[in-house]
Structures are given as structure tokens and as C-alpha cells.
Amino acid sequence: MIIIIAVIIIGIIIKFFLDRDKMIENQVDIHGGMKEKYKDLIEGLRQNYSPQFCEIKRDYLHFRLVFGSRTAANFYITEQFNEVKIEWLLQIDGPFENRKLFWTFPQGLVQNKMVDKIEIDIEKLIKNISL
């Protein structure tokens, strides 16, 4: 009985990884990878700063925008089943705490709409920090 359960669990795990690999192939690889697929999103978020690409994988991209010597904005883009998850981390040296925001967008949403939503949310957060 235990062997049957173990075989079923192993089969489920293998199927998950095969499905995930096929998802990455269909959602990312055919577009030239994460950097190429999300180039409009990256361009829209960079705000005239040069992005520093810290890590690029098949389903994950991390880039950083540095504002002077004490502040940096990190963006983490993760490809998931039929959606993309974006995390923003503002790192500020000094008396302020780091800030985080998260978004999840459906696969295929126009990247300019993602940029608009992200910029609005970041602006709201920055205004609250300034008060």
C-alpha cells in the first residue's frame, strides 16, 4: 500500500515538473526568454535609469534601478502558470524602512497596462512615506 502511494506521489511530482517545463517553453522560451519577453515592461519601469540585471533564469528575472548612492528599486518578475508575478522592493539606507509591493497580472496582458498599475501603486506608497 505504501509503495502504491509513493508511486502516485512521485508520478504527481514528475507531472508537475513536466507541466512547468512545458509552461515555461510556451510562455517564455518562444518569446526569446524573460528579458526579451518583458522588454516593454522593463523599459516602462526603468524611468530613464539603466537597469542592472542581477539574475536571469528561464522563469525569473531580477533587475535593479539605482538612484544615487543610498536608494535602489529592485524588480523581481516571476513567470507562473497563466500569470506573471511582479515584486518591487525599495531599499533605502538611513532611517526609512524598506518597502515592498506585489502584483499579479494575467498572461498576455499588455505590458503598458502593467506599467501604469505599478507606477500608480508606487506613487501612492511614496506619497505616504513622504507624509
pLDDT at 87 over 90: yes
C-alpha Rg value of the chain to the nearest Å:
18
Number of DSSP helices (H) and strands (E) in the chain, helices first = 4, 5
Q: In whole angstroms, give the CA distance from residue 82 to residue 13.
A: 19
Q: In whole angstroms, give the CA distance from residue 60 to residue 80.
A: 9
Q: In whole angstroms, give the CA distance from residue 38 to residue 45.
A: 11
pLDDT in tens, 11-61: 888 877 777 777 777 777 888 888 988 999 999 988 778 888 999 988 899
What does pTM read for this prediction?
0.80
Lowest-pLDDT choice from 17-21, 68-72, 74-78, 113-117: 17-21
Q: In whole angstroms, give the CA distance from residue 41 to residue 6.
A: 43
Is-contact 108 82, C-beta < 8 A?
A: no
* Domain 2-130 grouped into CATH 3.90.1150: yes
